[in-house]
Amino acid sequence: MAQECNSIPVLSWDELAKSAQKEPDRINGHTNPQSNLRLFGHPDNATRVTLYRDHHAWCPYCQKVWLWLEWMQIPYRIKKVTMRCYGQKEAWYLEKVPSGMLPAIELDNQLVTESDVILKCLENAFGHLGNPLDHPRTIKLRRLERKLFQAWCRWLCNPSLLPGQEEFRRKQFQAIAKEMEEELKIEDGPFFDQSNHHKTHPIPGTADVIFIPYVERMNASLAYYKGLNLREEHPLINRWLEALEQLEVYRGTQGDFHTHAHDLPPQMGGCWTDPNQDQKYLSKKIDSGQGLGKMETVWTSKPQTENANPKFHALARVIKHRQKILEVNPLGEKAFDQPLRAALTLLIKEQPCKPTANSALGLRYLKDRVSVPRDMSVLAARALRQALEETAALDGIQSGPPINTNNRFDQDPRPFLD
């Protein structure tokens, strides 16, 4: 029976399930992080490639290879591996790749590691996406991407110990970001290297694929730790990001600001905060689950797509894993059941629903551990986090256990494996 709270009842699991979005086609449908096989309409025996990438889709080098395979529509299998920052590396993978590093592929049963080497092998086997890796312009852009990456790391991952050092690193990074914008001016379209590989519309080339993972992470981390609005200060980078966010392939791999802000510290060896006014404001909005709107993504749902209702996508993903979500919550399975249903009721009914007393900790624990794109899309996660926070606020101000910056063992994937 539904349970009264405020003006609306808390829905039962059966009632909630009626609103959940139907499970999409993981094999031949849109790009998604849950798939273990991608065929693009080809027969199963057409797969020559196996991609080894991390469970949570946190690895930027995995995203690079993933995007290339998706835009080229190469049939491939996916085997997922744990990153050391969130769990124990699988023994079977260490036997295959003793270093444990990701990504790796098997192409015609031959193992290949290192993302750029992987892309070159894939080019040799299947053709190139736009200009090839060894094209002079691509080589120039690859060097620029590493230069931008190094400036980002110096700013983000090192404390500023001398007067003016923080501002110097900011200017150094933004000067190289302007170099990126100068390169984006060269082409007529928004991309570095527009490819006509897709039948109906232009798509990014390999040079763009190389930039995407870390620029996505720069946009998130510099907002959270430094208070920089990358899109506002660099309009051509913003145009590039906006063009990417119109593409289903990119959106299927895209992380959100909350995920990147908290998955990067254990991967990068720490991220240093410049506690200025903008940084405090932006980080608070990210941590609350509110998100940063178009600063984070310009993707908006369209009625004709399967992503028309992100909240129903979020609901379906929670229902799929509800038992494990309840079991791992600090409140325990029984105590967290009603608060979780209250938050999901708010999610789909858009009216507040009071949770049981002393449940704010459990609701905020879950809000902080939704991972994008592993769990759901950017917009779905934003809707879910907002519902969890609004429901928690009806109970009190108690926060969940803090997110560790040294490791993310709280994100151990084993309980949630499909």
Q: What is the spatial distance between Cα 382 and Cα 290, in angstroms, rounded to a whole number?
A: 7
Q: What would the pLDDT profile of 346-362 be if each residue is shown by its tens digit?
A: 999 999 999 999 999 99
Q: What is the token pair recorded at 205?
A: 């080339």
Q: How many helices and strands, by DSSP H and E, does the chain display?
A: 17, 7
Given a cut of 80, is residue 300 above it in pLDDT? no
Calculate the average pLDDT of the chain. Answer: 94
Pick the most confident of 4-13, 271-280, 406-415: 271-280
Q: What is the Cα–Cα distance from 281 to 229, expressed in whole angstroms?
A: 12
CA–CA separation, 405 and 314 (whole Å) = 26
In tens, the pLDDT along 150-182 reads 999 999 999 999 999 999 999 999 999 999 999
pLDDT of res. 6: 52
Structure confidence at residue 304 as a pLDDT band (50, 70, 90):
very low
How large a percentage of the chain has pLDDT more than 90?
Answer: 88
- Judge whether residue 8 has pLDDT over 90: no
The pLDDT of residue 4: 44
pTM, to two decimals? 0.94
Distances (CA, A) of 175 to 147, 169, 222: 11, 10, 15
Residue indicated by tokens 């098997």: 106
pLDDT above 70 for 140: yes
The pLDDT confidence band at residue 36, using thresholds 50, 70 and 90, is: very high
Token output for 41: 């309409």
The CATH code of domain 136-295 reads 1.20.1050.10
CATH class of the 37-126 domain in this structure: alpha beta
| φ/ψ (deg, to 5) at 9 | -80, 150
Instruction: Give 365's DSSP letter.
Output: H
Q: What is the pLDDT of residues 260-276, one digit of tens each?
A: 999 999 999 999 999 99
**For the chain, which residues make up each domain, given as ranges?**
3-21+309-416, 37-126, 136-295
